[in-house]
Structure 1
């Protein structure tokens, strides 16, 4: 958009807003966590912010109880005067329930619509929704406490509450394999159709909404809401240490155009009852319309009188113009203090294009990770790429970007600090072996965020550097994908441009090494290598065991994909399992994970599954594809050889090149290449 067009569209948008204000029938409310601030989020009772999530109850010591609410501070219109249909609305949120003392009982949380923005109900089974004396609200509860007093079916259910915590309709979440108290992130979708008078609720660990709702209710919300209501969350504990965290929330409400005829009928009745008032109303509309048109005309005159300024003014190509949408701009002084002058004692990691420091922000005391980018031109380019891409992404399995800094020639990115470090350190450096349930949860989280990047963003995002060192682990061992320095955005279904292959040996798809074209299927290959690495506890490329055994043989690089495929060919697939697990895993799950890893690592990119399919396979919603015992070979024409193949073994036959993904003696041992 040109500089001249920008104010024009701003003026036109202002004009539309004026028209919209004159007809409240089309009133809408829309927001999400990215747009919420402390002034638009109201925390009541024990609710508080904790590491960019909303904690509704905290972690009080047993036997104390807690209750809290988090509400959108502005009231939302749910009914229009003179219209029979209430607003339609939809909301999506991610939440988790953890208990520091699993032996204590819980409480639960609920999405609530309430006329009151200041009161908090009782703890325990009341979920902070109501007191013993009663209350007015509409809520969808996620109950972790079986309370006989409230006729609960169990301690793991979802229910619809109408002015009472005795639910009018309940569904057992165990029927869809969801355990609220697992500590894992749970996704919920709630939709209400104001015309059809129906409410539906979906729940899943996956970010893909299930086909069938867990709760479906015929309901006239108009009977339970006022013209304006407050929306948000409520939670409670009953003498336990249960913590209820809301990690992401988006909400949208609108009045369907179908409500317009009813409004028109109402207006006609008013006209028949009073001709004089109708004439006055028409005059008012004409006057208001003339006033708005006058404002619009004045704005156009001002625009054209200043058009020379817009034509002369050049576009700002500075780094600041690239990151105007970022959450916060930090000062260099602030980040220098936070990292103790970028002390070597604060270094927690190194990347291809910078060093990562642990920092404590002086004002808030928040602990963060500060990435200090290299001063090279390439480092700056990767910084801009990372910032422009990750700044527009929102997913629970992404490392959250808090802000940035560009001062004194320095380029700095500020992220949430992940308490459990990176996945590779958890696999290879931790004194305690990473448990199998944690490994499964991590693999599901990474597949979920890759499905989001590949299929659900406005523009498809190809990460190009999926590896265990770029997968971070939060306090609950949930995976958070980071380091988007090599990532690229493309339009969906658009053929990618050829570039120089970049990434880390052992994770690179063979066709990417050959052609330099990164696609979603090259990310799938990298994910497959990560899957095999997590299951086996072996790096994608490492020295052969013969060398370590001291038998005098020269150590050569061993390729993980080749090794697992050879075990599969010999019918010994389960021997690939990490010995540090000491057999503490379910064999069927281990076999499924290893087969998924091989399917994703298939040499033929077209034979690899999509990440959406991988999510479904891990959740048991889809069958794992048949993986051939012998690893297939893939042939490429010599015209496709666009890069130096010194790191691949090749066999030229009849003008074709057969690529073997096994690593040569000169292959890098997991090193980055550009």
Structure 2
């Protein structure tokens, strides 16, 4: 191995010497790149009505009273858009997520725009101007892609739901109807946008979708010479305005990247490799802009002249030939060493691979590290069972993903294998889709689709606008359908064991996706479950599961019942003791949601449990049916709980609403079950004593045992 190392070092030194002698200079490519995950408040300029709010930037005010105003947010540093000397425009790509919500849906207008402007100090007019252009004739030049929510005849708008390219003019040079791709700017849904401009060709494309996947076809595509509308340095950001409305324009995520094409033809492989290996994970989700050419720094400014062009043709040919020869030697040595190393790695991972069946794509660690900006803490979007979840953007295709980084201990590996082996074989529209996995460098990573509307608990308790009733009902039907599939339609029954609102994700259409299978177990149908240490979250756990540790489909049904009551009432399953007085109901103190709803039902006041934030915007018959289903599922007697297939039929109205007694049933527990539970407890105690005697530490792990933050228990 020492001989190989010496050969490798010698080859590298010779290649470096050859490059230095040839006069090739490998310098910084002058790339400008940033994203919301790494920006600080000082990196942005907030102008006019723009302000921070809960991790996003809002371009307009949060007012319930209609008003007219405008705001801008800009990256604080100017970006070079014209190449010094040649005056050719920079290539750039940007990805951003935004939403348009309205406190008063009948009040609409005007919209927002992605903006490139030389002005970083002022804001344009309100209303149809979108904050882009002022009243004076001396308004600085600008380039913008507008998202207009108001049809303005003055600016020749085609409708109140379109995207347009504005070039120094509010009358769009190119425009497309967003209704053609079923995107409604005023829906309140998060809209994802990809804008790509190739400086060498002048091609500009705009892709728009509710989905995290970049559409195959752009909504807007044109060829334009942006050098006619750009200064050497410009600011990038967003502008938005209202026109006698209560629209709120929020930028939820933004990434941007710009660079200069070195020449019409591709640059040499040396500079190509150098630049591509340094691409950031958060470049805007779009195809590659093309490799950036080598640049030379002169007096602190970027020069866009390629250094190789200063050499004669013979010198270039000699350099390329010699470089190729030494690189071939280096590659041969490297491949031989790498193959030897991979044999050892493959041998060590045979055990892991044998546990994985019918797996989706296997990602490399490098891909996921790049996608999450080295697992930057600013990219954390949640904490699941045995792992942290990060937001990522795949650099090769721009897809937005969620990366679950599992715990490094043996328990984390066990849960990783459990989650991977179970969910990889599941196929249902209401289950969170697993894109792939990675097991390298001691890391265990799972890759999922990222849900643009987050988790159900955040939609219920953290959203400024109440989740509408029709969304809530659709979500419950979706989760019930997923559980019916797991319990009764899979080859082996799957017990989720952690059904709760924070594990229910919402896609762009507020369809439910049940996720986090870290605690799930597979059992044969009609087989009694094994006893384990109860794991889950208080408020969702069935009483018999807490007592015996035996999870079954009935314990999942109880958890689902708690979710149903949570969705209908807008209350968390466990709250501090507080007086509750919904819809003039009798003041009842209750920290447990299930108990509280049972008391209201006993007093004939079931509809008083409805979420007051809905302000009565629901059909009473539907609300009553949903609340009764929640009570039936959360019955203390597991034998009285319906199957999930029956629950689906009741929720969609295919079968009558359940007959729920006014008095809450008592828990049914047979003598044989009690004896079996006691035997399991004795066995567990014996095993614990044995383990503690054999170990010099107080650390102990067993199947089903885990630690959860907050109100989760083991």
**When the two structures are superposed, what TM-score results if normalisation uses the length of structure 2?**
0.46
**When the two structures are superposed, what TM-score results if normalisation uses the length of structure 1?**
0.49
